[in-house]
Amino acid sequence: MDWNHLRVFLAVARERRLNAAAHGLGQSRPTLGRHLEALEQFLGHSLFRRTSTGYVLTEEGAAILPHVEQMEAAVSAIERHLAGGEAPTADKQKRS
């Protein structure tokens, strides 16, 4: 599973519009569309209903959203840790 596809999923779920999500990620609409299509194909489920007012999560999309948000938090924690901005974990403190 490609994290970039999941980042696009989160952006579209939050913005509900492909243009706004593309702007926020600094990518083009067609690129975001390809990421969403690839993710949906990989998962075998439609994650959004495309409507005249924007993108609406399907039942499957709503079900995976909290899990993808947890993944985002974990990725952010890893990035902070590697940048030196996070306190040592309890496991690390035990070894010291």
Whether 23 is covered by a domain: the verdict is yes
Q: Is the pTM of this model over 0.95?
A: no
Mean pLDDT of the 4-31 span:
96
Whether 64 is covered by a domain: the verdict is yes
Cα–Cα distance between 96 and 94 in angstroms, integer? 6
Cα–Cα distance between 22 and 63 in angstroms, integer? 23
Q: State the pLDDT at residue 92.
A: 55
Residue 61, pLDDT above cutoff 70: yes
The CATH number of the domain holding residue 58 is: 1.10.10.10
pLDDT tens-place string over residues 26-46: 999 999 999 999 999 999 999
Domain count, the chain: 1
Mean pLDDT of the 59-75 span:
96
